[in-house]
Amino acid sequence: MASRSSSPFLILVAGQPAAPLRRHGGFDHWIRVAAGLGRDDAVAVDVERGDELPGFDAFAGVVVSGSAAMVTERREWSERAAAWLAEATKAGLPVLGICYGHQLLAHALGGTVVDNPEGRRMGTFGVELLPEARNDALLAPLPERFPAQMTHVQHVSVPPPGAVVLARAEHDPCHAFRVGDNAWGVQFHPEFSAAHMRGYIQARAAVLAEEGFDVRALIDAVGAAPQARRVLRRFVHHSRNAAR
């Protein structure tokens, strides 16, 4: 474990940003920047495009990105990544799943992912920490309520066995969870800036309008989410210290 403290982080790329936003880089770039990692401090593996999954020992931790895919589609690459995540968690590798990654981690560890009966969420919304988060390594320093960037249709309806639910949102009772001491899922996007979020809403404007959303109002309601963004740096800090 001592060698992991200076090892790079692995970013499992499960998809790409909306097409108009790709000029700002892929999810791996957004995650790396938000986490405060240098270019040599992170290795990206694109599982959606068929990259081979590596061993666990060479990395300080792993972050699993979002995706336009659905966990319930059970795509081959997704199921392969889920099996890998189950083994990584069992091996004690620190894991952080974001949005799709949150859902994939839940599925990998025996939880249930379904279409959210409340429908799509896209924009800046509030997250509420539960009492169980007060001693959590990632979420404890955050305020009880904070804004976060969100874009998702599915959610974790049943958390994995033994999971501790750490946060909820108005439309989602399991918005963050932890399994053991080193595996977390968060439904929100800590790597998104307000500009990313506005860009996503604009890119999905036609779909949102068809579903009855006021696109202009969603864009106007987007705000900064600095507390949510802290989660990635907290994960890096925890993983480095846990590896010593």
What are the structural domain ranges in the chain? 2-192+226-242
Per-residue confidence in pLDDT tens, the chain, 244 aa = 445 678 999 999 999 999 999 999 999 999 999 999 999 999 999 999 999 999 988 999 999 999 999 999 999 999 999 999 999 999 999 999 999 999 999 999 999 999 999 999 999 999 999 999 999 999 999 999 999 999 999 999 999 999 999 999 999 999 999 999 999 999 999 999 999 999 999 999 999 999 999 999 999 999 999 999 999 999 999 999 876 5
| Topology adopted by domain 2-192+226-242 | Rossmann fold (3.40.50)
Catalogue the active-site residues: 99, 189, 191
Q: Is 154 helix (H, G, I), strand (E, B) or coil?
A: strand
E-strand spans in the chain? 9-13, 42-46, 61-64, 95-98, 112-115, 121-129, 145-152, 154-158, 164-169, 172-179, 183-186
What gap in Å lies between CA 188 and CA 77, rounded to an integer?
Answer: 23
What global pTM score does this model have? 0.96
Using alpha carbons, select from 136, 129, 73, 139 the residue that is nearest to residue 100: 73
**Residue 180 burial (C-beta neighbours within 10 Å; 0-12, 13-18, 19+):** middle
Residue 123 φ/ψ, nearest 5 degrees:
140, -160
